[in-house]
Structure 1
Amino acid sequence: MNGLEKYFEKLLWGSRYMVLVAVISSLLLSLLLFVITAVDVFALLVHTFDYIIATSEVRKVLKIELVAHTVGSIDGFLLATILLIFSLGLYELFISDIDEAKESDQSSKVLVINSLDDLKSKLAKVILMILVVTFFEVSLSMSFNSSLDLIYFSLGILMVSLALYFGSKSSH
């Protein structure tokens, strides 16, 4: 029975390499999102020239669109960063420590992950920032047709503020 148990434990320990599928997939998706968002930023820079030569009436519309696209780009980069942190964290938790990061004097504390809870808390903070940025992006295109819309918007700002407050409290 001891030989069977040893073989089974070896099989179980080796099964952790299945996580490499998630690590590689997340890393590729992160790279893809970085490229897509960089292309969007380049297109945004091209449209900035349209803003410069536009009339003042057209500038008002373009300004809102440019700010919304800028916020959307921040959203894209944050999501790509989540995927990068997720892939690095999974690798360190299940496969091996990243020796290159430990030897580097430019090692970031954001990427130091010691447990699954540590990974979850880092991801939760970045997800919270994505939600804040998305709320800001949506608020740029909102139109207030009644006082109730303004009250809902104010409640939304209050909820975002509370989320940021409690998020910062949890890190101390």
Structure 2
Amino acid sequence: MLEKLFERLMWSSRVFTILPVIFGLVGAAVLFAIASYDVCAVIFDVYRYFFADFHPESFHSDVVGSIIGAVDLYLMALVLFIFSFGIYELFISEIEAMKSSKHAKVLEVHSLDELKDKLAKVIIMVLIVNFFQRVLHASFTTPLEMLYLAVSILGLCLGLYFLHRGEH
């Protein structure tokens, strides 16, 4: 009898996984809001560039850097979003509304390994976007530095190739 009570208590404790689900969704919403604010700030700067006397020297690279930074934040928000949906489905309950949606494949998770794979792919994309954001602001003065850039881009391309090749 004590064993059954303990097992029931253990099974009921899975409800605690609602905390990472809730805070993951809140974190995703915060990142979505920050990224959207950044894009709105870029739109405002572009407006000032064309219609006001606002012409900073590094305007184009600043705009591209800000947009890439927003994409980076959106991707991080998606990591939290996918994580929250996956944890909920694995530990709490299946989401009925998701079953009837044609977009369910993106968020549908059947195992912890599948959740890790989905998260890993998005995290890799976050790292790639972050890499390009940093490269945008780097200055290359020697041919060796240009070679390092080319080799790192080749490495990223090969990594993406093998990542997608593993799906098939």
| TM-score, length-scaled by structure 2 | 0.93
Out of 164, 167, 172, the residue aligned to residue 163 of structure 2 is 167
Q: Which runs of 4+ in 1 moved over 3 A?
A: none
Distance 1:122 1:40 in 2: 26
- Indicate which of 12, 15, 29 corresponds to 1:14: 12
Q: After superposition, give the CA deviation of every residue in 1:108-164 in whole Å (9 maximum; x if it has no partner).
A: 311111000110010111111111111111111111121221121111101111111
Q: Superposition pairs for residues 13-92 of structure 1, below 5 Å?
A: 13-53=11-51, 58=55, 61-92=58-89
Question: How many residue pairs end up in the alignment?
Answer: 167
Residues in 1 aligned to 2:79 and 2:134: alpha-carbon distance in whole angstroms: 21
The answer to whether 1:127 aligns with 2:126 is: no
How large is the Cα RMSD of the aligned pairs? 1.6
Judge conservation of contact 1:17–1:95 (CA < 8 Å) in 2: yes
CA distance in structure 1 between the partners assigned to 2:164 and 2:104 by the alignment: 19
Map of 2:95 onto structure 1: 98
Contact 1:51 1:63 in 2 (8 A): no
In structure 1, how many angstroms separate the alpha carbons of the residues matched to 2:49 and 2:59? 6
1:41 and 1:70 in contact (8 A); partners too: yes
Whichever residue aligns with residue 118 of structure 1, its letter is: E
Cα distance in structure 1, aligned partners of 2:14 and 2:52 = 57
Match of 2:140 in 1: 144
Q: Secondary structure of 1:171's partner? A: coil
Q: Residue 92 of structure 1 contacts residue 98 of structure 1 at CA under 8 Å; is this kept in 2?
A: yes
Describe the SS at the equivalent of 1:121.
helix
One-letter code aligned to 1:115: S
Q: How far has the Cα of 1:69 moved from its partner?
A: 0.5
Deviation (angstroms), 1:59: 6.7
Scaled by the length of structure 1, what TM-score is found?
A: 0.91
Q: Which runs of 5+ in 2 are unaligned?
A: none
Q: CA deviation at 1:9?
A: 0.5
